[in-house]
A and B are shown apart, each in its own frame.
Chain A
Amino acid sequence: MTSGTSLYLRFAAVLFVGAILQLGFFAQVRVVGVSPDILLVIAIAGGLVGGEWRGAVGGFFAGLTLDLLVYGRPFGLAMLVYSLVGLLVGRFSASATGRSATGEVALAAVASALAVVAYDLGGRMLTGNTVLPEPLPVVALVVAGWTALFIIPVRRIMRWVWSDPERISSWAR
């Protein structure tokens, strides 16, 4: 097995487990009617650990996974939003936060709130409606809180996914 294939498999395994957890656990854990979005957390953690390129690609596949799971929303919207968010997080994680844990948690929270707003606006533009369980600011705020809670452990998992620099470079090229 080549190192690139191994890396693909690790990432696919993380997305698979993330999808199962979202379906079977996180979707039902609701605070103020709002659930965590573990695939968004994976996209953001990918950007934090791997930088903008891997953030964008990781976000794309995390979004693809969500798009495959969700019925009734435009297929491709999560891919677009999560890849942009992964890219932005990758760019800002290297410069703005100085790599402090608090800075990264804050960046992840803000990025997830922005992702929620972007997804909702995109959905409204494409379908003319929304199915949010609460008003948009509430959902964005609670999702940001959930992301802040889960970003550190998920970031560690993403570090494991991209742990070998040789594998990272062979995959990235």
Chain B
Amino acid sequence: MTSVRGSRRRTRLTLLLLILLSITLLTLDGRDFGPLSAVRSGVSAVLTPIGGALESVTRPVRDLLSGFGGADELRTENEQLRQRVEELEQGEADAARARSELDQLAADLNLDLLTSVDSVVARVVAGPVGNFDDGLQIDRGSDAGIAVGMPVVGGGGLVGRVVSVAPNRSTLQVVTDPGFSVGVRVAGGTGLGVLSGQGDRSEAVARSFDRSTSLTEGDLLVTSGAARSLFPPDLAVGRVVSVSGDTVGLEREAAVELSAPFNDLRYVTVLLWEPPQ
């Protein structure tokens, strides 16, 4: 009897201790306690290479398992790809015109920034660890000159920014993360807005455009590079798919299809660019 009571007391005390410890760590994390990030980076630097090796070895098995569970998705994707191939085959003329427009746009936007800034190409070695995160890990780090805060592009669009760095590994916060936001403007236009992730791998929302901003479906949004922006100007972010007004009609917002292909991102480019102090 005494033993049972003692055991219960021990359980309660332990639980209380664990809860207090968890809450303490939550509070420290909320205040950006530096050592926590350092520990995370260290653990990541040790585990990610091993996980990456395992990921390569087990890819066939994993694809098989995912295939079983996603047969309908694969069929739909197949169908979409077939339609896409037909569109592409019919679109050679469109492509030539698009190339010409792109050259014009690149000139307008001063896209030589990408060639004037040093960059590091890195392989994406790990995606989200579970169902509750959106981060990516790449196989280059401080040894390659990468530092926290540097912008990352890939697949024709902004991917995100570096949030932690180890000698041979970096963790990225991606555009799709709800905690991510970036100042944007319409390519060739003037109105500024703020694009935020929604946890969706293909879409985000851009808000706070002035009511007078010309914003239409298909417009390309690029980083604004406004004063104290964390990103250089003119990096493609995504295309507007729909436009609406906010609840009081003072501002406009847009659903944006992201340019970077987050479902199939194998390589990215880290721009060795740091925001001006």
Tell me the A residues contacting B by CB distance below 8 Å: 19-25, 27-32, 34-35, 37, 52-53, 56-57, 60, 63, 66-77, 79-80, 83-84, 87, 116, 119-120, 123, 126-127, 129-133, 139, 143
Closest residue to B50 on the A side, CB-wise? A20
Residues of A within 8 A of B148 (CB): none
CB–CB A21/B54 < 8 A: yes
Q: Is the interface of B mostly helix, strand, loop or mixed?
A: helix
Question: Scoring B residues 1 to 37 as 1 if CB is less than 8 Å from chain A, else 0, what string do you get?
Answer: 0000001001100110011011111101110000010
Stretch at the interface among B95-103, B173-181, B233-241: B173-181
- Looking at the complex, which one of A24, A66, A130, A132 makes contact with B51 (CB distance below 8 Å)? A24
- With an 8 A cutoff between CB atoms, is B223 at the interface? no
- With an 8 A cutoff between CB atoms, is B40 at the interface? yes
Distance in angstroms between the alpha carbons of A166 and B132 in the assembled complex: 38
A145 to chain B, nearest CB (A): 10
In B175-189, which residues have CB < 8 Å from any A CB? 176-179
For the complex, count residues of B whose C-beta is within 8 A of A. Answer: 58
Question: Given known contacts A25-B54, A27-B129, A68-B43, is B66 in contact with A87 (CB within 8 Å)?
Answer: no
CB–CB A72/B130 < 8 A: no
- With an 8 A cutoff between CB atoms, is B108 at the interface? no
Residues of B within 8 A of A63 (CB): 22
CB–CB B11/A87 < 8 A: yes
Question: Given known contacts A27-B130, A29-B62, is B21 in contact with A20 (CB within 8 Å)?
Answer: no
A77 to chain B, nearest CB (A): 6
B113 to chain A, nearest CB (A): 28
- Looking at the complex, which one of B14, B30, B51, B163 makes contact with A74 (CB distance below 8 Å)? B30
A151 to chain B, nearest CB (A): 17
CB–CB B22/A80 < 8 A: yes
CB–CB B48/A31 < 8 A: no
Query: Which of A22, A57, A71, A75 gathers most chain B CB within 10 Å?
Result: A71
Query: Which of B52, B133, B163 gathers most chain A CB within 10 Å?
Result: B133
CB–CB B179/A129 < 8 A: yes
CB–CB A79/B199 < 8 A: no
CB–CB A132/B15 < 8 A: no
Residues of B within 8 A of A83 (CB): 15, 18-19, 22
Distance in angstroms between the alpha carbons of A60 and B24 in the assembled complex: 14
Residues of A within 8 A of B39 (CB): 68
Residues of B within 8 A of A34 (CB): 131
CB–CB A76/B29 < 8 A: yes
Distance in angstroms between the alpha carbons of A24 and B129 in the assembled complex: 9
Closest residue to A67 on the B side, CB-wise? B25
CB–CB B11/A53 < 8 A: yes
- With an 8 A cutoff between CB atoms, is B249 at the interface? no
* Listed A/B pairs (17) with beta-carbon separation below 8 Å: A20-B54, A23-B47, A24-B54, A24-B57, A25-B62, A37-B131, A56-B11, A69-B130, A70-B135, A73-B133, A75-B25, A76-B23, A77-B26, A79-B22, A80-B23, A131-B132, A133-B199
